[in-house]
Amino acid sequence: MISLFFMQLRAAEFFAGIGLMRMGLERAGWSTVWANDIDEKKWEMYRANFNEGSCEFVLGDVHNIDGKDIPDIDLATASFPCNDLSLAGARHGLAGTQSSAFWGFIDTIKGMGRRRPPLVLLENVAGFLTSNDGNDFRDALLALNELGYAVDAFLIDAVRFVPQSRQRLFVVGTKVKNDCLREVSPMLMQSDLRPPALADFIFMNPEIGWAIRDLPSLPSPSIKLQHIIEDVPLNSELWWSKERCDYLLNQMSEKHRAEAERMMAGAKWSYGTVFRRVRNGRSMGELRTDGIAGCLRTPRGGSGRQILFCAGKGTYRVRLLTPRECARLMGADSYKIHVPLNQALFGFGDAVCVPVIQWIAENYLNPTLQALRDLPLALPQSRVNVTYKEQRKPKNHKA
């Protein structure tokens, strides 16, 4: 068996954002040779962190990309927009203005013809699983089947690697020949990677061509919020005024206010995060004190910016999380940040968690690619269970 160490692992990064997918893959031995995004502000952050000469970056709409222009690659990644799939959005699904970019990705891969990569990796919010009663997820997987990929799906919460609650749904498509796919009983052991809702979806959709890989357990969380906090001087303008701090405290419910006062009464400094949410028509401050930050989001209209609450020794102080703290919550402490606050928050709020991607590459992508290169006509059945039946055309895809 030839070690992947001696092979060049080439990836194309669709919906590249600020490049955290690339950073995670690089930690597992991959080279990103082509990337695309439509957002010029994110591209500004991307190019400040990566050598432009090592990767062709195409700034523009994915619908305008011709598959013939994509170089030869082993992996195509797609963290396509979640706006229409998120539980926090209007849930227009894959037919929505933003999330329909998925079909542009599919058309581009289709346009690569025989040069389609052996592996595809999708990433999106957990709401993708239930969008449009599961039909959007089903159509996306069937679209990958039509391109010759058997599919697998799993959920990973970034909290296993960093102190941020950020659950994301991942799909791996593995290129196989139809004559190698045969119906077998899927291995659907429920686990932290495939919880009941996802296992049920797999079980209830046998028409999809599945390739379910047995994966190791995720690591146990070890880093807490306190470990990623920057040492910001007390005289910094980042700290809020007393009036603004008191206003936030008065926005808390009785329960959250009591927790804040408990923190203030402590002999040592402790840390929590606050999100403002509208409850019964009123803006409320919700305090989280379990050592885990809430999910980083993109700030729109002043909302979505996560607040740091520091308390102890009879007092408290408040400020927004800094861009560096956001980078650390994404496992990207080495990331160079030379842009305004909101631009940085947008970039990290739309990105992937770096150590999660590294874990997927090391435990899924790398061994699967090695198996495909050593056994080009089949997947190793000792590790993978495959099902394949007649497919139906995804209903949302307009040719």
Q: Return the number of other C-beta atoms located less than 10 Å from residue 222's C-beta.
A: 10
**Under a CB-based contact definition with an 8 Å cutoff, are residues 124 and 79 in contact?**
yes
Cα–Cα distance for residue pair 277/255, rounded to 1 Å: 15
CA-wise closest residue to 213 among 158, 171, 182: 171
Q: Which of 90-99, 129-138, 306-315 is the least confident region?
A: 90-99
> pTM here?
0.89
pLDDT digits (tens, 9 = 90+) for 143-189: 999 999 999 999 999 999 999 999 999 999 999 865 444 443 445 55
Look up residue 72 and give its DSSP letter: P
pLDDT digits (tens, 9 = 90+) for 82-100: 654 544 555 455 555 555 7
Query: What is the reported pLDDT for 57?
Result: 95
Query: What is the reported pLDDT for 352?
Result: 97
Query: What is the reported pLDDT for 382?
Result: 33
Q: Which residue has the tokens 């893959």?
A: 25
The catalytic residue among 55, 82, 310, 353 is 82
Two tokens at 163? Answer: 């102190």
Question: Strands (DSSP E) along the chain, which ranges?
Answer: 9-14, 30-37, 56-59, 75-78, 119-125, 149-157, 167-175, 210-213, 270-279, 282-288, 307-312, 315-320, 384-387
**Under a CB-based contact definition with an 8 Å cutoff, are residues 332 and 357 in contact?**
no
Q: Give span(s): CATH 3.40.50.150, the chain.
A: 4-219+351-387
Two tokens at 301? Answer: 């209209």
69: helix, coil or strand?
helix
pLDDT digits (tens, 9 = 90+) for 27-86: 999 999 999 999 999 999 999 999 877 799 999 999 999 999 999 999 999 998 765 454
Higher pLDDT, 82 or 111: 111
Query: What is the reported pLDDT for 368?
Result: 94
> Which helix (H) or strand (E) is 101 found in, with range?
helix 101-111
Q: Which of 223-227, 235-239, 273-277, 328-332 is the least confident region?
A: 273-277
CATH of the domain spanning 4-219+351-387: 3.40.50.150
Two tokens at 29? Answer: 């031995």
Query: What is the reported pLDDT for 3?
Result: 54
Has 295 been annotated as catalytic? no
Written as one string, the DSSP assignment of 140-192 is HHHHHHHTTEEEEEEEEEGGGTSSB--EEEEEEEEE--GGG-----------S
